[in-house]
Structure 1
Amino acid sequence: MLRQYELVERVKDYDPDADEAMLNRAYVYTVQKHGTQKRASGDPYFSHPVEVAGLMTDLKLDQATVMTALLHDTVEDTLATIEDIEKNFGADVARLVDGVTKLSKIEQMPENERAAENLRKFLLAMSEDIRVLLVKLGDRLHNMRTLHFIKKEEKRQRIARETLDIYAPLAERIGMYEYMREMQALAFEHLEPEAHATITGRLGQIREQDGAQVDSIALAIKQALAEAGLQVEVHGREKQPYSIWKKMAERHVHFDAITDIFAFRVLTESQEDCYRAMGILHTTWQFIPGRFKDYISTPKNNGYKSLHTSLIFDKSMRVEVQIRSQEMHRTNGFGLAAHWAYKQADDHDGQVAWLRDLIEIVDASHDAEELLEHTRMAIYQDRIFAFTPKGALFQLPKGATPVDFAFAVHTDLGAQTVGAKINGRHMPLRTVLNNGDVVEILKADAAEPQMAWLGHVVTGKARAAIRRAVRLKEREEIAALGRKLFEDIADRVPAKIGKKALRAAVKRLEMEDEDDLMHAIGAAKIEDRAVMEALVPGCTESIEEGDAEWTRRDRAISIRGLTPGVGFKLAECCHPVPGDRIVGLRRPNDSVEVHAIDCLTLASGIDNDWLDLQWDKDSQGAYGMLRVTLYDRMGTLAEMAGIFAKNHVNVRSLQQTQLDHPFTSYEIELEVQDLAHLTRILSALRASDAVAQADRG
């Protein structure tokens, strides 16, 4: 553990103007507050914040950050308060300690009960001042180094999993690769001890069998570059056991199938020398196509710069080579922390823009579980680059689609997306983007996010925004349904209902406002009788079940055809279309399910709340389902397709359901205008010699 004077000397070495007295006071304060508290290792508890402060001095961070590291557990684990911290050490340190404390409190909650509001506050603090995250990462790294002292395996596993899922990716996203690698290595050892031991053992065998192999390859690279006039440093190493294990899992292969176990780093004097070195290596040894990445011309979001390539040595051995300048190397290992230490400027704003995306995600997430899903998606790193037509660069996860790209540009653009051009060609919105694609988003002011997009978007920001928009739309539609039902309820009470009575009813029912009441009515969260009683207290006492005053009036509610809205869903058992007589089944907290009046499955909904529905007078378009049996001979499928074409119908899907010679049966989903249109199609099919039978599905 660092002694008091050693910690102060470390800070003074890189910051001669640091307030020595204030640093001493913070050190003494944390020792006194933690007192006789012990860690699982048996060490005094204050050794932990002192070691975290030491990590901050390794990064050459400012005095306030070092003091925050010293004090970061005092509010959580002692009687100290944020007010005490502010009084003794100033508002800046108190704000940083508060930000770190909020995340620590969240960690102690069960995963499904994490407080989204607290996490939102932490993310806000982190986006406004990255030092909050730097201290938290130092805190987690030191905890991982001492994790083996915790006796309960379940607790060790939970902390290791959280480190691998959340903190290591966060470290990567701000370019702190040294922290990321050590966290991954320590977490892997606890989560997969057998795999860790096996891979470590195999690496040891390789080292024993040919320990000089890494050195010989490094020497060959250095000599090839020296002959071309480049003075470089070359360092070789084996890949981390976690990195190898991850590659084995992704490729579903054994250890022996991993050919690029060795990695080499070439350090040059300048950026220009990086490209010269790459050219020399590519002409000296065969490089592997598709494995070259230029992170100098297009740095990662975290500021990481390097050239990556893979070469083939001795005809079979694959090695990964990273080429970077000495300056790039100094900042790559610790990313934003290095920028903060050396520049003390706001030039990191662009690198933490993704944190502001996290704030949007928190605001859009419905519950803690959804929030955790979205934030995990947002912080994982495996990235591709895509460009706007004007050349603006956006980094996205692999597998991203134009919808992800649109939301990355701006939430409003994502919401208004109707189409996309990729490299000048119109492409479906579910198209997976490739590195370097130029994406033009086509938008319409009246467009809205579609629930179907959730099937192909991969970014947390897009998923959160889509879900939020769909939820808001659903709430609006259900509230609109509730207003129609409320009119019927109001007609059944023995008084004329005005605004005053409605406000009183909202208060009696303990609703937030009128919209909240209408949504509750539409979502079947509240019975008609309870609403009537709230409007006119005592009015239902003499009403018996089945009385006219109690029964809902026969007032049909109109819905649209092809897109009835998220508050309604067309039943898949009968596929009603405009022209069918329809009813709705209403269940609590669910969309109204629309059925044709003669649907055989309606009997199963006898205990549900039934609504009288009708198609809107302008309704045109719905998805009709047919079951068609063709004679199994040449040309019958083409003849059926011709019937569809003559009747101007779009086939959405066609699936063969049975082959029983001489017949073949299909289920076909069609986009039709209305019942009359569907009936004409059925008549044409039944009149065809190619068709043995045709019925609605």
Structure 2
Amino acid sequence: MADSIEVAKQILSLAGKFSEEDVKLLAKAYNVALYAHENYYRDSGEPFIAHPVEVCRILAQMNVDIQTLVSAMLHDAVEDSDGKVKIEDVEREFGKQIARIVDGVTKVSRLNAPVGTTDSKLKLETIQKMLFAMAEDIRVIFVKLADRLHNMRTIEFVKDEAKKIYKAKETLEIYAPIAHKMGIYSIKWELEDLAFKVLNRNEYNRMKSLVAEKKKEREQRIKEYVQTLEKALRDNEIDGYVEGRFKHYYGIWQKLREKGKSFNEIYDLFGIRAIVNDVPTCYSVLGVVHSIWKPLPGRIKDYIASPKSNGYRSLHTTVITGYGEPLEVQIRDKEMHAEAEYGLIAHWIYKNGVNVKTMQKWVSQLLEWRKELTRDFSGLEEFKKELQLDEVFVFTPKGEVKHLPAGATPIDFAYSIHTDVGHRFTGAKVNGKLVPISYLLKNGDLVEIIIGKTAKPSLDWLKYAKSPRTKAKIRKYFREQLQNELMERGKDVFRRVSKRLSKSMEEIMDSELVKKYLQNQGISEEEFYSRIGEGTITYGELINLLTPLVEKTQPKAQEEKRKPRSPLSTIEVSGLKNIEIHMGKCCGPVFGDEIIGVIGKRGLTIHRVNCSNIKHVETDRIFEARWNKDVQSKYETTLRVTTREKADVGMFVQLLENKGISVLGVPFMTSRKTYSIISLNILVSDLRQLEEAKKTLEGVNTVMLVERGKLS
């Protein structure tokens, strides 16, 4: 095995100048990792120690500090050593800082991001833990990204196909977006291409082949463009260099899908980049470029004056060359170039020290994500959207730049300033003119928020908010403000249910069934009532939850009382005797409806004469039927209710039961943006009582339509 000092020197030689103490520290870490991974092998057949060494090499090329490199060497030592190395050992031998990074990477590595699952609770917990580990020390994610990059570079050796696909999806959905958000494009692009190769090898190979053909054609022309700009820089006595650049395969494939274009219609597959010494020179080079080639209107982007939210800075311009084709030119200084390649890592370069302001910004951002995920994000999907949304940048009256998701409105801007500013929002001016809350902000807009001392949030704002964080803050406000009201409303609904089930609230809440439900959901009694009050737990779900409890204890006589009488005694059928009779669930006939009987395998089924299900039934299967007026009974049927807003099921049940009409269940309920639909299974004595039930519900001002429905 290689000498530890030589390994350390070789790694550190990639990173520039390091002291002898650094060499000794990294060599010590190598020896610990060697001990931890002794007799362990990777799927490729290599000794496991090759992996942490390669992760170190990836990071060394990015000029990270010695603590990050030592942490990278030890990042699997605790997780994959059968207990030979513990986190306490790392802290004792290498100090708290390195132990914290190793512990963070270990925690993230143990989290399998729930790709493709519908378990929202698991998604929330996983992402919360991931963000927590990242927020403890931003270098955790540096190590984790390098770890994932090397694993993806060697993923072809993984024999388990399901595991390979999972890792590729996780890379594409979680790690590549994080690298993008942190501005680490060199890792982002490679991660995307490697995952793309696993998930869609045919398309990957197609893109690779198309680019190879085009690249061969274009190399000479790109070389000509580079030489032309380099000569112009020399003629203007500007110190710098020019390089050609090529778009990566996954980016090309995405563009083809999103734009609906053919490969030959994409003109920015290749471009050139000028790297100079300072910011003023960047603008000088822009002038030089435009003196050589004519700029395309509207295609000049100044990310130096207004950097992207991940810190990316550069000048972009698209020009028309002498060949009549578009060419994108990027212009940046050396520091910007390092940041464009390595993002936040460039701020943690050993020789320059830590850029405290940038680190604080990102740590606070991660903490904010973690805090809001606690209750206000809808899980992994929202997190992925937050990472991947396109952005617009707008200005405060003081000239501060705010980055918001594309499609953001003034309410998003208000909450991005401060939560209290959002809560007291009354209006907005954009570029000096009043605009509605629905106005879509555009790049470069100057936005001024108008606030009122007594103003309060409105639930309508959720319709106009684009940012998940804005929506989270609005929802949180209403939860906090209305908590007591929601609890009381929930208790009121629960009280009606308990009365209907002939059990006290205390008896139901003390049951093992409810206690187990609260434990599984991880909520308190107060939260349980609040969820009922706000409709998160619907009336139908409540009935379904408590049904087993009632079935165990309900007296048989009481149960019989709730059931409709057998149709045999209430229906008279012409020409048939001693046959089993059923009521049609498709139309739910009740006493007073015009009815007919249809013979089938189960016996005779009674339908309303206008039931759509019997239109095409053969005439020889149809028999005349009529109600027996001398027999009293109850009939089960369904009312379908459409409302303008979320249906208050508890209120509907109370209104009907006040009229002596029993509600047997809520088999169906759905909510949309502008309306809700709910089905109520009810027990009535005749058509007159059914009409009374309809009129009662139609009297509610939010109800748009009440009609008979299908029994479920």
What is the TM-score normalised by the length of structure 1?
A: 0.72
| 1:60 alignment partner in structure 2 | 63
1:213-612 aligned at under 5 Å gives the runs 213-341=221-349, 342-348=352-358, 349-365=360-376, 370-380=378-388, 382-414=390-422, 417=425, 419-442=427-450, 447-448=456-457, 450=459, 453=462, 457-465=465-473, 479-485=487-493, 505=510, 509-510=514-515, 513-516=524-527, 518-519=529-530, 523-524=538-539, 526=542, 544-545=558-559, 587=666, 605-606=681-682
1:89-128 mapped onto 2 (5 Å cutoff): 89-107=94-112, 111-112=116-117, 113=119, 114=122, 116-128=124-136
2:304 alignment partner, SS class: coil
Equivalence for 1:669: none
Counterpart residue identity of residue 106, structure 1? L
Q: Secondary structure at the match of 1:117?
A: helix
Task: Indicate how the Cα distance of structure 1 residues 187 and 509 shifts in structure 2: closer, same or farther if over 3 A, else same.
Answer: closer
Residue in 1 that maps onto 2:5: 5
- Structure 1 residues 174, 442: closer, same or farther in 2, change over 3 A? same
Deviation readout 1:35-91 (Å, 9 max, x if unpaired) = 222212111122111211222222232232222212222333232343343344333
Report the Cα distance in structure 2 between the residues aligned to 1:592 and 1:447, rounded to whole angstroms.
Answer: 26
- 1:624/1:415 Cα in 2 relative to 1: closer, same or farther (>3 Å)? farther
> How far apart are residue 267 of structure 1 and its match?
1.5
Corresponding residue number in structure 2 for 1:35: 38
Shift in CA distance, 383/426, structure 1 to aligned 2, threshold 3 Å: same
CA change 1:358–1:93 in 2 (3 A) is same
SS at match of 2:357: coil
Whether the 8 Å contact between 2:185 and 2:342 is mirrored in structure 1 is: yes
Larger mean Cα displacement after TM superposition, 138-147 or 241-250: 241-250
1:226 aligned partner, one-letter code: R
Deviation at 1:303, TM superposition (A): 2.4
When residues 118 and 163 of structure 1 are mapped into structure 2, their CA distance, relative to the original with a 3 A threshold, is closer
What code does the residue aligned with 2:32 have?
Answer: Y
CA contact (8 A) 2:5 2:24 kept: no
Cα deviation code 1:327-378 (max 9, x no counterpart) = 3223332121121112224132235543233223322346xxx311121122
Letter in 2 for 1:350: K
Label 1:282 to 1:505 Cα distance change in 2 as closer, same or farther (>3 A). Answer: same
Offset of residue 319 of structure 1: 0.9
- Select which of 1, 18, 34 maps to 1:15: 18
- 8 Å CA contact 1:374–1:461 kept in 2: the answer is no
* SS in structure 1 at match of 2:78: helix
Q: 1:79-130, CA deviations, whole angstroms, 9 ceiling, x for partnerless residues?
A: 2343343344333222212211222222276652545335323312312411
> Alpha carbons of 1:583 and 1:329: their partners in 2 closer, same or farther (altered >3 Å)?
farther
SS in 2 for 1:76: coil
Residue in 2 that maps onto 1:71: 74
Contact between 1:566 and 1:591, CA under 8 Å: does it hold in 2?
Answer: no
**Amino acid paired to 1:167:** Y
Give the direction of change, closer, same or farther, for the CA distance of 1:164–1:291 in structure 2 (3 Å limit).
farther
Q: CA deviation at 1:588?
A: 9.0
> Which residue does 2:144 correspond to in 1?
136
Cα distance in 2 between the residues matched to 1:446 and 1:372? 33
> Which is worse superposed, 469-478 or 247-256?
469-478
Aligned partners of 1:542 and 1:174: how far apart in 2?
A: 66
1:426–1:3: structure 2 CA closer, same or farther, 3 Å change rule?
A: farther
Quote the Cα distance in structure 2 between the aligned partners of 1:592 and 1:328: 49
The change in CA–CA distance for 1:75 and 1:28 in structure 2 (over 3 A counts) is: same
SS at match of 2:437: coil
Distance 2:545 2:392 in 1: 57
* Kept after mapping to 2: 8 A contact 1:494/1:539: no
Distance 1:529 1:330 in 2: 58
* Whole-angstrom distance in 2 between the partners of 1:505 and 1:287: 75
**Does 459-468 or 429-438 show the bigger shift?**
459-468
In structure 1, the residue matched to 2:710 is none
1:265 aligned counterpart, secondary structure: strand
Is this contact kept in 2: 1:235–1:266, CA < 8 A?
A: yes
Cα pair 1:521 1:527 within 8 Å, conserved = no
Q: Distance in 1 between matches of 2:113 and 2:679?
A: 49
**Cα separation, partners in 2 of 1:151 and 1:493, compared to 1, 3 Å:** closer
Secondary structure of the residue that 2:179 maps to in structure 1? helix
Classify the secondary structure of the residue corresponding to 2:197. helix
| Kept in 2: contact 1:569–1:591 (CA 8 A) | no
Aligned match of 1:596: none
Aligned CA distance change for structure 1 residues 543 and 7 (closer, same or farther; 3 Å): farther
Separation of aligned partners in 2, 1:419 and 1:75: 55
2:424, 2:126 → 1: CA distance? 31
Aligned residue number for residue 618 of structure 2: none
Task: Tell me the alpha carbon deviations over residues 496-519 of structure 1, each in whole angstroms, 9 at most, x when there is no partner.
Answer: 99xxx7998489952565524645
* Aligned-partner SS, 1:74: coil
Q: CA deviation at 1:326?
A: 2.4
1:559 aligned residue: none
Does the CA contact (< 8 Å) of 1:85 and 1:93 recur in 2?
yes
Match of residue 46 from structure 1: 49
* C-alpha distance in structure 2 between counterparts of 1:24 and 1:624, whole Å: 75
In 2, the alpha carbon distance for the partners of 1:543 and 1:418 equals 60
CA contact (8 A) 2:169 2:199 kept: yes
Q: Per-residue deviation at 1:254?
A: 0.4
| Cα distance in structure 1, aligned partners of 2:244 and 2:327 | 10
Q: Quick check: 339-348 or 399-408, which moved more?
A: 399-408
**Aligned partner (choices 86, 93, 104) of residue 91 of structure 2:** 86
SS of residue matched to 2:111? helix
Find the aligned partners of 1:359 and 1:491 in 2 and give their Cα distance.
42
Q: After TM superposition, give the deviation of residue 278 of structure 1 in Å.
A: 0.7
The equivalent residue for 2:585 is none
Q: Aligned equivalents of 1:603 and 1:493: distance in 2?
A: 20
Structure 1 residues 393 and 104: CA distance shift in structure 2, 3 A: same
Preserved contact between residue 508 and residue 514 of structure 2 (Cα < 8 Å): no
Where 2:108 maps in the other structure, the secondary structure is helix
Distance 2:545 2:372 in 1: 40
Q: 1:216 to 1:20 in 2, by over 3 A?
A: closer
Q: Which residue of 1 aligns with 2:568?
A: none
2:239 and 2:503 mapped to 1: Cα distance? 94
The match for 2:611 is none
Deviations 1:536-576 (A, max 9, x none): xx99879935989xxxxxxxxxxxxx9977867999xxxx9
In the alignment, the residues of structure 2 paired with residue 204 and residue 492 of structure 1 have an alpha-carbon distance, to the nearest angstrom, of 73
